[in-house]
Amino acid sequence: MAQVQVIKVNKSTMAKMQAYYTKNQLNKTIPYAQFAAKVGSTTITAYTSGKVVFQGPAAETEAAKWGTAESKTAGTSKKSTTLPANFSQLSVLGSDEVGNGSYFGPVTVCAAYVDKTMIAKLKALGVRDSKELTDPQIRQLSAVIKKLIPYKLLIVEPEKYNQIQPKYNAVHMKVALHNQAIYLLLNELAPVKPEAILIDQFTPEANYKKYVKSERNQVSEKLYFVTKGEQYHVAVAAASIISRAAFLEELDKESKELGVTVPSGAGTASDKVAAQLLKKGGIELLSQYAKLHFANTEKAKKLAGK
């Protein structure tokens, strides 16, 4: 059964969403809709009332980028644990990921530890939600952040992603990656222990805990889950920036290797580049650079006449 997520957003968030999904927007008119878009196999319909409906396999993931779901057909509506008082001033390990909704490029997950003594310095540098930063700013900040704080970055290249994906759905894969990045960073920090671990929420807490049970090195203590985690602690913002910079670097690498600009997202530009790769080296070549289970693959085959 397809997942359905519904969120309510204000005008400011709606404008950000429309800009964010520009390359993915569908050229069709829906009554009372401000815009409609498609990311992979997931459709997003934003209505003038402020209600946004996400439908498809990555509905949870996409909706979690913008707000808390009002209703869903999968998981649970149970609210995450309330954060401790003065949370933004605690020593926190935060984690975030990038690339799950992009056809080309990897999935990057970063866990970053910010000791309370570093909070003011990072904020002074401009460390905040990566969606508010330009790509050049993200690259520059990431290089600085990585010199200042402990972090663990995991990069799953498309070829590896395609091998894992049949066994792990998108949410399960992210649970495994977040858990592993946090586990590895905790080991490096020992004997220092963060006062809390904050995961930028991409699935209900109960769902996360269900999937993490199948992981060998489970981290379960001091875990908190909130959407838009970067607003609650700079550690998540730092993790988001490092993840995004790594994603951009990998896209640059792919572009250089292929001699063509590889786009982010999952819009028509991705279909066209994928069709070029299919003509050049078939599905074997495409599998090295793209997440094959996305709907873009079938669209590219049609464009390439395959």
Taking the domains of the chain in order of start, what are their residue ranges?
4-72, 87-251, 266-304
Candidate from 8-22, 229-243, 252-266 with smallest mean pLDDT: 8-22
Candidate from 41-50, 63-72, 89-98, 165-174 with smallest mean pLDDT: 63-72
- What are the C-alpha distances in Å from 80 to residues 6, 207, 236? 17, 11, 16
Look at 140 and 128; give whichever has higher pLDDT.
Answer: 140
User: What CATH code is assigned to 87-251?
Assistant: 3.30.420.10
User: What CATH code is assigned to 4-72?
Assistant: 3.30.310.10
Is 4-72's fold the same as 87-251's?
no
Q: Are 201 and 226 in contact (CB under 8 A)?
A: yes
pLDDT over 60 at 70, yes or no: no
Residues in the chain: 306
Q: What is the pLDDT of residues 4-20, one digit of tens each?
A: 888 888 888 888 888 88
pLDDT at res. 306: 67
pLDDT at res. 219: 95
Q: What is the dihedral of CA 239, 243, 249, 252, to 10 degrees?
A: -140
pLDDT at res. 258: 95
Q: What is the pLDDT of residues 279-295, one digit of tens each?
A: 999 999 999 999 999 99
Average pLDDT rounded to a whole number, residues 130-143: 91
Contacts of residue 37, Cβ cutoff 8 Å, sequence gap at least 6: 21, 24, 25, 26, 43, 44
pLDDT at res. 77: 37
Contacts of residue 177, Cβ cutoff 8 Å, sequence gap at least 6: 97, 107, 109, 154, 156
pLDDT at res. 31: 81
Q: Cis omega (within 30 of 0) on the bond before 136? A: no
Average pLDDT rounded to a whole number, residues 220-232: 91
Binned at pLDDT 50, 70 and 90, residue 68 comes out as low
Candidate from 12-26, 55-69, 84-98, 171-185 with smallest mean pLDDT: 55-69
State whether the Cα torsion 168-247-302-35 is positive or negative.
Answer: positive
pTM, full prediction: 0.74
